[in-house]
Structure 1
Amino acid sequence: MHIIKRNLLKLAATGLVLGVVGASQAFAQTKLDFYYPVQVGGPVTKVIDGYVAKFMAENPGIQVAPIYSGNYNDTTTKALTAAKAGTPPAIAVLLATDVFTLIDEDVVEPIDQFVKTDEDKAWLDGFMPAYLKSAQTEGHLWSVPFQRSTAVMYYNKQAFKDAGLDPENYPKTWDDMVAAGKAVTQKDASGNTTRWGIGIAGNVGSSQWMFGALAAQNGARLMNDEGTETYLTDPKVVEALQYWVDLSKKNGVHPQGIFEWGTAPADFLAGRVSMIWHTTGNLTNIRKNATFDFGVAPFPGHPNPASTLGGGNFYIFKDTSDEQKQAAFKLAKFLTSDEILADWAVQTGYVAPRDGAWKTQTLTDYTAEEPNALVALKQIPNAVPEFSTHENARTTKILNDALAAALTGNKTPEKALADAQTEIDKILKQYR
């Protein structure tokens, strides 16, 4: 056996065993690095590993290495770093809002160039237009939806009931949310708050998502579809930030300063806050761990309700072989099939971005048992894209810093947003 191996290696070196190479599975395999983030609770890595194992069993000529790469920001940084070093992943799940950055860096291929057959076209047509929209620019579709979400409100029905509120009557307006927040906020004998009414994450990486919803609820948008302009000095945008600040400063229903995204579910589950704005991607985690009756509600409005679309898409990277790109496209199609997306929605709480997924037996049975899962689906028509512009990392940080300055009392909402608009205008001027 060792002699045979040595002879094969010698023959391969002289280019004389093309037939043997073609017959060898080891030589035939196309290898893919697949980067993905984890932004919600639950055993996500095990689920992804299971899907990849199933894909490789069905496609023995493709070897996929699923690589957990941290949160979304970490994953984007690692993917860009690898791409600039000439060793990009073949495919990665990155934020839908990263599209302009990835195009500007010239590291991804448009997904639509791989769509050749009628089967491919039928697959692409099956995605919800709202989730495809943010990936469409410069005449191409640059990515396809995978772990998508809208932000929803989780509320503690027991806390509502204890406060004399109707646990089935969730807040539908800004004023309703303040009133409910005051009713459920609790203090100890020393006057220290032991349970807050509402928590909206204001940390870097999350606040722009939450703020986009607040602005939309007030009838405003933060940016244009082309990612070349922002509207942070719009009076309606300023009013939305003032409302957020006043939840703590004026109304006393929100923790002071920055409420953290990462600890929000734990704070909710521990009863430290009665309402949180968070991703529907945490539904499964909260459902499994809540020791009290909870509800999931659409966001309130001022007057019209609105949320933001969020989550990650599949991107195929440019500096890889044609075989790797084709294999990556095949993996993307597999992981965005109706059946996989339906299971993914049950396992995580993410919104399946295909209408067909919601017609599968998996999701039909699940939503019959857990109707809260339908809240995000029904909210999609009233949702807007998350903040996204060219040089998105820079502009998003500027916006996040402005929101933090207002939430911590270092600047007024008007001053914070005006300063941010001035900085962002300097960055985006070249793209107009």
Structure 2
Amino acid sequence: MKKLLLLMASLILVLSACSGGGTAPKESPKGAEGKSGKPVELQFYFPVAVGGPITQIVDKLAKDFEKENANIKIKPIYGGSYQDTMTKVATAVQGNNSPDMAVLLSTDLYSLISMKAIEDLTPRFSKEYFADFYESFLGNTRSGNTIWSVPFQRSTIVLYYNKDMFKAAGLDPEKAPANWTQLREYAQKLTKKDASDKVTQWGLEIPSTGYQYWMLQALSLQSGDNIMSNDGKQVFFNKPHVEESLQLYMDLGIKDKVMPSGAIEWATVPSDFISGKTAMMFHTTGNLTKVKTDAKFNFGVAFLPANKKFGSPTGGGNLYVFKNIPEENKKAAVKFIEFLTKPDRVAQWSIDTGYVGTTKAAYNTDLLKKYIETFPQAKVARDQLEYADSELSTYQNGQVTKIFNDNIQAALLGKMTAKEALQKSQEQADQILKAFK
């Protein structure tokens, strides 16, 4: 009997050792260092929407970070356009499979807050850290006193102009149009036609697809004020300064005939400028490096022309950290953000892509100082930040922006007056936003 009891006890000990004490251990959170014994792996969603070898640059940044942080692995996931990336992120969040971090439009802020998808970053960084970012970029990073994201690939709209075409038209190639009156005059002189009255060179192109709301917002800021409140709950689409701005936007194509009437594709405008189809264009500074690389002529970059004042909305993407991930991953994401926003890296990112350096410290680096000495066009967007304001961002921002874009497009196609398009936009946006007031 004693032998039988000893045998049973031995069998229990063996089974206990094989099963980890009789209770299966809980699976550690994704890549939790110190729990699973494996490095933290961060899923990093990134949009590829602007010309340039962005994926190679991001891949290198990830590898450089991993060399300094052997316990953290970065897995970039390229999501296509900003809109495509946001759709993929939203789907992942709703499926309880949230990414760790992402670069998304700064204007996605209120949509992400509504989804309860993102981490409050206010306690994750010091006040001194955020103090180095340009104030113009911080409007789309916070709501009230809460900071939800970090400026990364940020932009403004600038005026690009072909200096060779200016010279040929009898214009000073070192002086871009400073105001709306000069813009119209210069565009007239720069528009060329052949013997059959067909335009062979446009004086100006302002995109009218995809981001027409952004272009109109720039004109509205130049005319006195922004087009929305800073809490995401109200828009001012039907104000007189917006109507004045939309009327100019319409007149340039329909009345003045100095740019194509109707739809001017966002993506083809830089190509038109580089190929010589247009002498001037309004476009993001995010295409500066592409123009520098591909243009076979002398070109200038200048502030957008003023009406009552200079003005441009900011644009581009911010770094977001997501809420429903392990604490170890949040800490690792913050560490990666700190790495990405070191002055020399911000400077190099600006040089490689054309985006504006987001911090004052970046412009004090020898790297960016030397670059600006040889390529002064790179400082124009930075200097214009003095006159910049937050991009259109509201709750249900996708719906509000689509409504606004559609009605602006109808006006540019001559299907509505400026007043009708803006009043309709205001009424439709008010209907959407009333739930948030």
Q: Hey, what's the Cα distance between the residues in 1 that align with 2:303 and 2:221?
A: 13
Distance 2:44 2:195 in 1: 53
Structure 2 length as normaliser, TM-score? 0.92
RMSD (Å) for aligned C-alpha atoms: 2.2
Quote the offset at 1:28 in angstroms: 2.4
Amino acid at match of 1:57: K
Query: 2:32·2:40 contact (CA, 8 Å) conserved in 1?
Result: no
Structure 1 unaligned blocks of 5 or more = 1-6
1-structure distance, mates of 2:23, 2:157: 57
> Partners of 1:425 and 1:22 in 2: how far apart?
45
Write the deviation string for residues 206-241 of structure 1: whole angstroms up to 9, x where unpaired. Answer: 111111100011113211111111111111111100
Give the whole-Å Cα distance in 2 for the aligned partners of 1:53 and 1:336: 16
- The 2-side partners of 1:214 and 1:272 are apart by 23
Aligned partner letter, 2:42: L
Q: Alpha-carbon deviations, 1:53-93, whole Å to 9, x = none? A: 00111111111101111111111111111111111210000
- Tell me if structure 2 keeps the 8 A contact 1:25–1:61: no
Structure 2 counterpart of 1:362, one-letter code: L
User: In the alignment, what sits opposite 1:271?
Assistant: 276
Query: Post-superposition, which runs of at least 4 consecutive aligned residues in structure 1 deviate over 2 A?
Result: 7-16, 21-28, 120-125
Is 1:235 the counterpart of 2:240 in the alignment?
A: yes
Q: CA deviation at 1:39?
A: 2.6
The amino acid of 1:89's aligned partner reads: P
Instruction: Kindly report which structure 2 residues correspond to 1:326-341, keeping only aligned pairs within 5 A, or say none.
Output: 326-341=331-346
Matches within 5 A, 1:195-214: 195-204=201-210, 206-214=211-219
1: distance between equivalents of 2:139 and 2:325?
A: 26
> Equivalences for 1:369-408 in 2 at 5 Å?
369-408=374-413
1:186 to 192, 204, 224: 192
C-alpha distance in structure 2 between counterparts of 1:12 and 1:128, whole Å: 57
Residue in 1 aligned with 2:167?
Answer: 161
| Residue 13 (structure 2) aligns with | none
Q: Does 1:360 align with 2:365?
A: yes
Give the SS at the match of 1:93: strand
Aligned length: 418
Does the 8 Å CA contact 1:93/1:314 hold for their aligned counterparts? yes
Larger gyration radius, structure 1 or structure 2: 2
SS at match of 1:122: helix
The runs of 5 or more residues in structure 2 that have no matched partner are: 1-16
Displacement of 1:113 in angstroms is 2.7
Determine if the alignment matches structure 1 residue 252 to structure 2 residue 262.
no
Q: Normalising by the residue count of structure 1, what TM-score does the alignment of the two structures yield?
A: 0.93
Q: Is structure 2 residue 353 aligned with structure 1 residue 348?
A: yes
CA contact (8 A) 2:33 2:40 kept: no
In structure 2, the CA distance between the partners of 1:253 and 1:22, relative to structure 1 (3 Å rule), is closer
Amino acid paired to 1:172: A
Question: Does the 8 Å CA contact 2:223/2:245 hold for their aligned counterparts?
Answer: yes
> In the alignment, which residue of structure 2 is the partner of 1:88?
98
Counterpart position of 1:4: none
1:417, CA displacement in angstroms?
Answer: 0.8
Question: How big is each residue's C-alpha offset from its partner over 1:338-387, in whole Å with a ceiling of 9 and x where there is no partner?
Answer: 11111000000111110001111110110011011110111001011111
CA distance in 1: counterparts of 2:25 and 2:428, whole angstroms:
59
Match of 1:45 in 2: 55
d(CA) in 2 for partners of 1:264, 1:22: 46
Do the aligned partners of 2:32 and 2:39 also contact (CA within 8 Å) in 1? no
Distance in 2 (CA, whole Å) between partners of 1:424 and 1:188 is: 44
